[in-house]
Amino acid sequence: MIIVLLGPPGAGKGTQADLLSAKLGIPKIATGDVLRAALRDGTKRGLEAKAYMDRGDLVPDSVILGILQDVMTSPAAKEGAILDGAVRTVPQAEGLGKMLKEIGKKVDRVLLFDVDDEELVKRLSTRTVCEGCQTPYMGRDPGAKCEKCGGKLVRRKDDEPEAVRNRLEVYRRQTAPVIDWYDDNKMKVLKIDADAPVDAVTKRTLKALGK
Ligand code: AP5
């Protein structure tokens, strides 16, 4: 099953993608994580993405479609994938659709995590993430250890207030139209009220998926 997760920054896409991946037994593919790993490794792709990411702008569609081509044709995604934040523009939605068609697959479900801006800003201004495995945390200070891998928790540069404001604006301008694009292409977008405790959101999500 191929599931696309949509939603503004801080809506909980990464958190829920990890939980769904464990429940459904299919991998999570988060383009943000792939890009941050590329940056840490000092690859051309990572260096190209850095300035866009630090400002909270989207990296070019060509870079994202290149990543999606690599991962969706890899053996890891044979049984499907949970695409976390991997589709953020209409050309990306179109490109992914075409790419999947060529390999005899399609997007099976599109989920939209809905949270209002005030809560999003609150979540992002208090988030730390593991430098190693990228797990996000609330209420843990930078420098603390990750429960999962022992890595160091850090603040993301794009969680600074100015970058957060830009990310919300970019979401409204460039990503929100993707919702209408899927609707117009006969793929019902399942909206989840994600302003609730993590467990409750997971339950709502599984219910929406019929699981
Ligand atoms: P990315 O890393 O994907 O960032 P994002 O979409 O802005 O999403 P976030 O990771 O900020 O939030 P999330 O929804 O995953 O929430 P999380 O679970 O962490 O992308 C970063 C950048 O990479 C982009 O800005 C862009 O430059 C580039 N990029 C990536 N993909 C791209 C693409 N396709 N096209 C172009 N550019 C791309 O949760 C947030 C916080 O809230 C955490 O602290 C968490 O613990 C907490 N939390 C989660 N759920 C709850 C809950 N239910 N209640 C309370 N707290 C909660």
Q: Of 115, 123, 95, 131, nearest to 171 (Cα)?
A: 115
Q: How close is the Cα of 133 to the center of ligand 1, in Å?
A: 14
pLDDT digits (tens, 9 = 90+) for 150-169: 999 999 999 999 999 999 99
Segments in the chain forming alpha helices (H): 13-24, 31-40, 44-55, 61-72, 90-102, 117-125, 161-170, 176-184, 198-208
State both tokens at 72. 């969706």
Q: How close is the Cα of 46 to the center of ligand 1, in Å?
A: 18
Order across the sheet with 189-193: list the strands: 28-30, 81-84, 2-6, 109-114, 189-193
State both tokens at 7. 């939603």
Give the residue numbers marked as catalytic.
13, 88, 127, 156, 167
pLDDT at 17: 97
pLDDT at 177: 98
Nearest atom of ligand 1 to the alpha carbon of 201: 53
pLDDT digits (tens, 9 = 90+) for 18-68: 999 999 999 999 999 999 999 999 999 999 999 999 999 999 999 999 999
pLDDT at 55: 93
Q: How close is the Cα of 105 to the center of ligand 1, in Å?
A: 26
State both tokens at 144. 């603390």
pLDDT digits (tens, 9 = 90+) for 90-141: 999 999 999 999 999 999 999 999 999 999 999 999 999 999 999 999 999 9
